[in-house]
Chains A and B, each alone.
Chain A
Amino acid sequence: MTEPMISLRNVSKRFGASEMAVTDLSLDILPGETVALVGPSGCGKTTTMKMINRLIEPSSGVILLEGGDIEERSPVDLRRGIGYVIQSIGLLPHRSIRQNIATVPKLLGWELDRIQKRVDELMAMLELDPELLGRYPHELSGGQRQRVGVARALAADPPVMLMDEPFGAVDPVVRERLQDQFLEIQMRLQKTIVFVTHDIDEALKMADRIAILKKGGVLEQYATPRDLLASPANEFVKDFVGLDRGLKRLALNNDADIDAYLGALKPLAATSPSS
């Protein structure tokens, strides 16, 4: 069996004396896998994600990255090797798009022409007009900013990416295009991705495996989209996966229907890998 890239072992988090945010969570995430953390608000999905780059320290339990305990690494060092994208994007308002994308390579001390080349490469990869490079974040549209956010997270080519509602801040049409574009990029790059969403359809579309959490950060089921739809572990999962699906849910009771449903979510390029 392949060694997991990220491994959470009995991780719990409690903020002060409040209720548990994450309860005894164990998850293995394989290299090149996209895992979605899904659940209602207050289910600890963002907390779980932020413990992986030590923005939040767990109260108990161990998190391993490539087999090593992340507690033994300096947070600054650890974070430079992990891409990070959030819903509000968080581009630095006082830096041009070029400088924003170059952030981590610059922190890592890359040479200038290597940074230059990498930035140009990422602009092309995310289909961003090079003319945007000299502008400031507030001069871009929401969709452009979101892609710059992804480009910035990919800049130093980190093996792991953490994404919190990465496509949440844009309108549905743009969101779908960004999702498709990201799936295509991910097919080529094979990053290990942990992403947080409250949108089950987004999880079904983007993820190789989905972890469904309920309030208090309790893991209800960790399975592929297909297994989640075909055999939900309990009523909570069934309800959550069926949420907002209404009539569509009724139709998903055989393999062919599930294939058709998942197929409709994915862009053509991602369902028929060419390489």
Chain B
Amino acid sequence: MSDEPLVRWDWIADHSDLIWKQFVEHSLLTAIAVGIGLALSFPLALYAYKHKRLYGPILGVTGFLYTIPSLALFAFMGAYTGYLSITTAEIGLVSYTLLILIRNIVVGLRSVPADARETARAMGYSDRQLLWKVEIPLALPAIVAGIRLATVTTIGLVTVTAVLGLGGFGYFILDGLRTFFTTVTLLGAVLSVLFATVIDIALIYLGRFATPWTRRTGTPWTRRARGA
């Protein structure tokens, strides 16, 4: 054991198929969780935004879900909805995204300048147009921040879903720990961190692309026109 190197690169090179498979599963579990999380959060956040009294209770419930330790939740859910089940994993993963997403959407909507909202109404935007063309676009920076946070959190939590017997980079971590094979443990850990970082950076750029007005100097063509 002592002459074993810390990382056996040949093992990694021989198992690129397995690494790809876990990458795909990790991505899928994350995408499904954030997708369903968004689909649930949006209407709830809009509701909490229109009816201020409901914001507290909605944050209370989702906040409670957020505080449940993930390992405990997956172990507990596994007993009810089954191990080796994507449903079990997603119920947990989705419930962790709700607090982050709802809070950020509501904060974003509340940050819309009152004068922009007033003049939009005064110019003849209907309530629906006001929401989709003014309030949601202006809330986007906060919403994107929420999506980033929820996605990175989920990528981390998907490593934990390996205890349910599901794939993802967590599979390597568990497998390595079980067999005292550091190469595999490190592989799983490094890949999860790398994945989270790359996705976070990608979302930053996507967010900037979607909100050109937040770039200080405006669009590239106006910058060029001004000779700057």
Contacts and interface: CB of A to CB of B under 8 A. Distances in A.
Contact of A90 (B115, B217, B221): B115
Nearest to B226: A131
Nearest to A80: B124
A90 B118 contact: yes
Interface stretch (A2-10, A21-29, A91-99, A184-192): A91-99
Contact of B116 (A53, A76, A93): A93
A93 B115 CA distance: 10
B116 A90 contact: yes
A11 interface: no
Interface of A: 53, 55, 76-80, 82, 84, 86, 88-96, 103-104, 107, 131, 134-136, 138-139, 152, 162
B36 interface: no
B125 interface: yes
Contact of B218 (A78, A80, A88, A136): A136
B116 A92 contact: yes
Contacts of A152: 123
A90 B117 CA distance: 8
Contact of A79 (B124, B134, B138, B211): B124
Contact of A94 (B122, B138, B225): B138
Most buried by A among B123, B125, B217: B123
B195 to A, nearest CB: 31
A134 B122 contact: no
Contacts of B64: none
Given A76-B126, A104-B123, A55 B138 contact: no
B122 A79 contact: yes
A58 to B, nearest CB: 17
A152 B226 CA distance: 24
Given A131-B226, A136-B218, A107 B123 contact: yes
Contacts of B113: 90, 93
Contact of A93 (B213, B217, B225, B226): B213
Contacts of A131: 222, 225-226
Contact of B124 (A77, A89, A139): A77
B63 interface: no
Contacts of B212: 136
Contact of B211 (A90, A94, A134): A94
A136 B213 contact: yes
A229 B84 CA distance: 87
A87 to B, nearest CB: 9
A53 B125 CA distance: 13
Interface string B216-228: 0111011001100
A53 B213 contact: no
B143 to A, nearest CB: 13
Contacts of B138: 92-94
Given A76-B126, A94-B211, A107-B124, A134 B119 contact: no
B222 A92 contact: no
A55 B118 contact: yes
B120 interface: yes
Interface string B24-48: 0000000000000000000000000
A92 B115 CA distance: 9
Nearest to A85: B119
A139 B218 contact: yes
Contact of B137 (A79, A90, A94): A94
22 contacts: A53-B122, A76-B125, A79-B122, A80-B123, A86-B119, A90-B113, A90-B115, A92-B116, A93-B113, A94-B134, A103-B120, A103-B123, A104-B123, A107-B125, A131-B225, A134-B218, A134-B219, A134-B225, A135-B218, A136-B212, A136-B213, A139-B222
Contacts of B226: 131
Given A134-B225, A135-B222, A92 B124 contact: no
Contact of A88 (B115, B120, B221): B115
Nearest to B122: A84
A251 B22 CA distance: 89
Interface in B110-163: 113, 115-126, 129, 134, 137-138
Contacts of A55: 118, 121-122
Nearest to A79: B124
B53 to A, nearest CB: 18
